[in-house]
Each structure stands twice: as structure tokens, then as C-alpha cells.
Chain A
Amino acid sequence: MSLDAVGSGDVRARTTLRGARVMRLGPVSLLVRTRALLTTLVLLGLVAVLAAYALSVGTFRLHVAEVVQILLGNGGGVGERIVMNIRLPRVLTGVFAGAALGASGAVFQSVSRNALGSPDVIGFTTGAATGAIAQIVIFGGSAVAVALSAVVTGLFTAAVVYLLASKGGRTGYRLILIGIGVGSILGALNGLMLVRGDLDDAISANLWLAGSLNARTWVHVWPVLVGVVVLVPLVAVLSRRLSMIEMGDDVARQLGVRVERTRLSAVFLAVLLAALATAAAGPIAFVALAAPQLYGRLARMSDLAVFGSASMGALLLIVADLTSQLLPLGLTLPIGRMTGIIGGIYLIWLLTRPRSV
């Protein structure tokens, strides 16, 4: 195949990039990952539909049409109060916490080059639990105190792990190992508090650890909503560079990526997102792990997919919430456990199908 001088619009050489289409206009060229884009849009559509449905169920039943009217501002009466004050905060908390966790998990899996990467790799989830358990078992704090403690200790743990791993500027693998070490220590402390504490306190703490979407108000919604809207696009900007880093620090550096700076920024954003989600709904760890994996398999993406993972995270959370509300079992089904069951089962189902790549 000859490669003469390239004329304008003369496409003699064409590379097949998986699931992508090139759009060119003059000097501008855009690469559109069609399958991924389609998958994300479908996921978002599902989230919207399920959210509308979730707003209609409950002890006070409404039609979806009524819900839509209320959202458009044409509602009134009891229906409006219930939707706007109770259900909408719950649904929005779930959706945005899920999105935050999905994006956060995608970053951690990329940075740790490991399918099991999640915010706990840097000790965040375990650290948050330590703060919360201590508040409940030792200090007897209020719900707000518990949430704040969780976020503060979580962020502190992540910072400590990062600093401990930063010797000589070679983070990467060392970060994972130190995260494991610190996580184990804090996990042991958590176990100790749960065992030694008063039984009632221990039960309360255990319940907090399961996450919850009950009794959510707009105070819960705003931080995580704003966080997702602002931070997720920032992570998306970094995603191309993070994909390069996945190939190896040396490979990425020689391609012109500023590895340490990119990684630090990305991890910082990812921890913030996880913190906001935890403050809003308590710990829901599995979404961060499962959402990027599920999305990647569906969309056949090998690049970091921030929006996709966020959409999948949101979907996981809202499906879990709906399931726990609709199951006629009369059991307490905390959201953190429901996401585990549903996400886990879905992942298992995906694994049982013959994989064609």
C-alpha cells in the first residue's frame, strides 16, 4: 500500500479505531466514540425514566404524569409537598451520589491499574467508617456530626495514605500497598469499636455503615449535586491523560503526560467525589467498584469513561433504591446493601454470558 503525500480529503490510510467515528471540518477533527456515547445516553435515559417512576411510588401513590406536572411547576397540594420535600431529595441524592461514586471508582481503577480499584484503595472508605463509628459508639454524636466526622476522617486518611506513599515521587504501586496497610489498621480499629461498644451503639453504627436514602432533605442533595456537576467534567478533562498513564508511568511520560500532576489532581477529585457521596448517603462502596467495570463491558471501552461510569453509578443506585422500596418483604433494606446485591448480581450475570470482545 503506497503512502504518497497526503492530499486534502484524500483518505488513503484509514485506521480502524474500535467503536469510534472521526468527524473532520477543516483543521478541526473530533473523535466520537459512538458505541460509548450511545450507551451513556441510554443509561441516562433509563435513569430519568426510573427517577420519574421512583417519584410516583410510595404510600401516597401518584401517576407519573402527575409527577411530571409537579416537576414542571404545575402541581399543588399534598402531592407537590410529598414529591418536592420528600421524594425528590431522596431520588436526587441517590442519583448524584451514584454518579459521584461511579466517576470516583473509574479514576481509582485507572490509577491503580486494577479492576478492583476503588476509593478504598486509598483508605478513604475505611477511614470514613472510623470517624462515623467513633462518633456513634464513643461520642454519641448527632446525624450531622456523624456525616461530618465520616467525611473529615475519610479525607484525612486519604491524605495520609497519599503522603506516606509519596516518597521519592514514585507513587503508583506504593500507593496501593500503603492504602492496604492503613486500611487494615483502621479496619481493625473499627472492628474493635464495634465489638467493645454498647450493643445498641454497635447496631446503630452497623446501620450507618449500610448507607441510607431515608429521610434525605435538600441539605443532603445540594453538596453532592453541585459536586458532580462541577467535578465530573473536570475529571473528564483529565481522562485522556489518565488513559495514557494506564500504559505505564514511563510510557505516559515519554508521550508528554505530566504523570505526577495528573495523577494527584485526579485522585484529589476522585476522593472529593467519594466524600460528597458519603456525606450525602453514607458509605455505598460497591458502586465505585462495579459501575466502571459494568460500563466498560457494555460499551467496550478501554479508555477511561468518566461520564459513562457516572451514568452507570447513578443507574445502579436508583435501581437499588427502587428495588428496596418495591420488594414486598417488609424488611429493612439499606441502600448500601441493596447496591451490593443488585450490582453484584448484575456483574455475575454479565460474567456468565460468553464474552465477545
Chain B
Amino acid sequence: MTPPGHSEPSADVEPRLRADTVTLAYDGRTVSTDLSVSIPSGRFTVILGPNACGKTTLLRALARLLNPHGGQVVLDGKDIRRYPTKEVARRLGLLPQSSFAPFGISVADLVARGRFPHQRALQQWSQADDVAVTHAMQVTNVTELAERSVDELSGGQRQRVWLAMVLAQETPLLLLDEPTTFLDIAHQLEVLELCRRLNRHDGRTLVLVLHDLNQAARYADHIIVMRDGAIVAEGAPHAVLTPTMLAEVFGLQAHIMADPITGTPLVIPIGSLSSR
């Protein structure tokens, strides 16, 4: 399956992924009730929010890793639970926060595992698999590391290898849960630039959970702000990132100006508001 070709993000395309009044809970704790959200297709969406606001839970529900207790997640017009799991895996890829590299595995072998949804008993390694893996490693800059063991790599390198694995899956929808943790600043920007390319050039729909407000402002087309399991704001960065919102949701007193380089909103923290 070749990557989708050029496509301009179009505002009136039907959202491929959305949640309809879902109630999310795990370990006996209800995280969100009657939550509805649409992920705009072909856009770069970022979910923001303070710790434990339910953003990872929402992402996992959207990726079918968590079954909603009420409501449903809809992928391409159908309840996501009605697809065969491998079919979902071909349409939607998730880079989770926690993952384990099997002992002694090489980078190439780990990235190659991303091709699992496309493989069958008699199609164990097609030409398309080779192309996808090579492309994924190139784009994440891990090609020179291909034959090294993943255990030997640094945290940043390992993160890029996992990203390559999810990219090798070649899904039009890509969900990333805090992909920039453990990366130094240059690599963080590298990953975000890569995500932007995947979105603009390949036309993939991206949803990232991020911590850094300014990174979100710089790269996102669409921001979803969550707090206590509910969505409190949604829209373009300049519309969503306001001093009022920052104070209410993050307990942060801040000044917002236009980033002198990119023109996107830039959050200048002034101090924290002690009441939360």
C-alpha cells in the first residue's frame, strides 16, 4: 500500500475519526462522560491539557485500545469495534507512551514489525514491506542504525526507531502520545517537523498529545484542550490559546504574543496561579 499522495487539507472533508458521546473509564475510575470530539481529516491536531486530564485516555479510546462504556468511536463512518482489528491497524497507527524492545532486537527488525497489519501467512515479506520500512527509517533518520541493537541506543534514538515502526505501518491516520518526551530540543523539533511533513506532504491526519504549549501553537492546525476529562476549548491555535484559557485550565498566568519567527501564538509564562 503506497502512502497517500499530495492533498491539501480540506475543511469540508468528513472527519474520518470521531468520538460520539463516549464514556471512558478504567480501573474503576471514570475519566470522561459523554465526550464528543471530531478529528478533522488531513489536519494536524494537538490535544493539550494538564496532567491527568484524560488526554491519553481519549487517544487510546480513539485508537481502539480502550473500550468506551457508553457511546462509540466512529472510524470512516462505522463503529470502530466492527472492523477486524487488522483493518483498524491499517487505517490508524498509534505510538503509545510505553513500549518494550525485545532483548537483542535490531533496529531494522523492530521497524519491520510495523508491517504486521499488512502481512499474511503467505505474504510474509513483500516488496511493499521493504519499501515502507526503508522509507520509514530514512524519514526518521535511523537508516545508519539499521543493524544495531535497539538496547544499545540512546533514549532519543530509540524514540525515533519506535516512530519509524509506526510510520512503516503506513496508516492515513497517525496518533502519537507524547512523542517528544526523552528527546532533546533539537530532536523534538525534528520529530515535529517530520510530523508536519507527514501531514502536509503525505496528507496524513495527525493527532498528537503534547505537553509543550508553544510547540502545539507552532505546529497544530487544530487544538483540543481538555481538563478533568472534558473538552474545554477547541479550534485554531490563535483562537484557543488565550490568557483566560491558560489561567482557567493550566493555572498559568501568561502573556500571549505572536511568535516573531512563525507568527503563531507564543505563550510567555508570567507565573502560576496557586488556586486550581
Which residues of A does B touch, CB under 8 Å? Answer: 1, 3, 5-6, 11, 13-18, 22, 24, 27-31, 113, 115, 168, 170, 240, 243-244, 246-248, 250-251, 253-258, 296, 300, 302-303, 357
Contact = CB atoms under 8 A, between A and B. Distances in A.
Given A3-B135, A247-B101, A254-B64, 7 more contacts: A15-B129, A22-B125, A29-B123, A255-B114, A256-B85, A302-B105, A302-B109
15 contacts: A3-B134, A15-B112, A18-B109, A22-B124, A27-B122, A28-B122, A30-B125, A243-B113, A246-B100, A250-B96, A253-B63, A255-B169, A302-B103, A302-B106, A303-B102
Interface of B: 2, 26-28, 60, 63-65, 84-90, 92-94, 96, 98-106, 108-114, 116-117, 122-131, 133-135, 138, 146-147, 149, 166, 169
Contacts of B89: 254-256
A14 B109 CA distance: 12
B93 A15 contact: no
A86 to B, nearest CB: 42
Contacts of B88: 256
Given A113-B100, A168-B27, A17 B124 contact: no
B138 A17 contact: no
Given A16-B108, A17-B112, A243-B102, A256 B27 contact: no
B85 A27 contact: no
B229 to A, nearest CB: 18
Contact of A248 (B99, B108, B138): B99
Contacts of A240: 116
Contacts of A254: 63-65, 89, 92-94, 96, 166
Given A13-B134, A250-B94, A256 B108 contact: no
A184 to B, nearest CB: 25
The DSSP consensus for interface residues of chain A is loop
Contact of A256 (B28, B86, B99, B135): B86
Contacts of B99: 247-248, 250-251
A6 B65 contact: no
A78 to B, nearest CB: 50
Contact of A27 (B87, B105, B123): B123
Given A29-B123, A258-B85, A302-B102, A251 B96 contact: yes
A15 B129 CA distance: 9
A114 to B, nearest CB: 10
Nearest to A252: B116
A240 B120 CA distance: 11
Contacts of A16: 108, 146-147
A115 B87 CA distance: 33
B123 A300 contact: no
Closest 6 CB pairs of A and B: A256-B89, A256-B86, A250-B96, A13-B134, A302-B105, A254-B94
Contacts of B86: 256
A250 B60 CA distance: 9
Nearest to A241: B116
Contacts of A247: 99-102, 110, 113
Given A13-B134, A300-B104, A255 B149 contact: no
B131 A13 contact: yes
Contacts of B92: 254
Nearest to A30: B124
Contacts of B112: 15, 17
A28 B103 CA distance: 30
B74 to A, nearest CB: 18
A31 B112 CA distance: 12
B181 to A, nearest CB: 15
B133 A15 contact: yes
A217 B126 CA distance: 49
